[in-house]
Amino acid sequence: MSKATDFFCEQSPDKVMIAMSGGVDSSFSARLVQQTGVACAGMFMKNWEESDDEFCPAEADADDARKVAAHLGLPLHTRNFAAEYWDEVFQGFLDEYRRGRTPNPDILCNREIKFKVFAEHAEDLGASHIATGHYARKKVLDGVHWLCRGADSNKDQSYFLYAISQQQLQRALFPIGGLAKPAVRELAQAAGIPVHAKRDSTGICFIGERKLRDFLARWLPPRRGDICLPNGQRIGVHQGAHYYTLGQRQGLGIGGVRGAAEAPWYVIGKDMEKNILFVSQNQTDNAIMSNQLEAESLTWISGEPPSGELRLSAKIRYRQADQECELSITGDRAQVSFSQPQWAATPGQSVVFYARDICLGGGIIDRTNAPAVT
């Protein structure tokens, strides 16, 4: 195990505020910060107002955070950022779905809530740095703070952090970034942390265990339309093209189709104007494969775009293997050309660029060169 102070990267901070969610990752992060001997405290943030606690168990998570803080002997602050989350994250989330795109709210939440609003409240309480339970690392080279992949390749979360700024990264600590998840659980158990065996949260908190379509229907009403084959043959009915994403195979509701094999169906295209969903049983249909994409809303960890020969690697989804690519940047847009065709590069999702273990930044996928289905 690495030394407890390895994650500082520089001189010890004056005081650290730990984002404590009630899960094992943030809880053991708090333990590691505490072991350094620096002044520290925890803060639990609530980002969503939901009357149905079955789907968003914020109070149960807050109770777990209190138990961990009591076990460690740490003061715990609580803050409600639901209004900020609604304005800075959720409204954009809905706008993207209205356009027929598939957003990733966790990325915006990190930039606008965890590393901005949370950090501002931490500063008000005297903290010079914040610590989170993300599986990521950072290093400082020539005065520039760089975001690096977490040591556990299966849990690396740098993809979700690419949009934070240089200033935000300078104040951030990732105590468990050098550890593997199984080790975190084992060490947390050995330290007697109450949530060492707690199940990892999955998906987006405000959606919880319910179906995405059912949740979105509260703000984006159903709009029935046709499900068609690429040749235009109608084979079913959907509840709204905005509910579906490229590559989706669950929840399509397609019954037996005469002449079709007993095999899964995949969404390969959408016509938002006509409200048509195109599907195929060929998972690698030409309509869903592309080797080029354009990205917008670019952000760079160093504050400046990379220069020189831009042969990098990229990911267009979390946990995807690195994909070799060439990058051409023009202002706030990028043209990305991949060495190999990519499956289901989805507008609204993020493409994130790497130089070996360093996450350089990324942008939002706007369009690809996949042939349109009409």
What amino acid positions are annotated as catalytic residues?
109, 205
Cβ neighbours for 87, distance < 8 A, ≥ 6 positions apart: none
- Which burial class, exposed, middle or buried, applies to 85 when counting CB atoms under 10 A from its CB (0-12, 13-18, 19+)? buried
CA-based R_g, the chain, Å: 22
Tokens 């273990």: give the residue: 357
Tell me the pairing of strands 15-19 and 129-131. parallel
How far is residue 105's CA from residue 212's CA, in Å, rounded to a whole number? 13
Name the residue type at position 342: Q
Contacts 24+ apart (CB under 8 A), 180-183: 180/151, 180/152, 180/154, 180/155, 181/25, 181/135, 181/152, 181/154, 181/155, 183/1
Number of H helices, E strands in the chain: 9, 17
3-state SS, residue 215: helix
The residues near 97 (Cβ < 8 Å, ≥ 6 apart) are: 103, 216, 220, 242, 243
User: How many other C-beta atoms are found inside a 10 Å radius of the C-beta of residue 180?
Assistant: 16
Q: How far apart are CA 335 and CA 342, in angstroms?
A: 14
Calpha distance 296→365 (Å, rounded): 6
Quick one: how far is CA 128 from the chain centroid?
Answer: 25
Write phi, then psi, for 300 (nearest 5 degrees).
-130, 130
Sequential DSSP letters for 30-64 = HHHHHHTT-EEEEEEEE----S-TTT--HHHHHHH
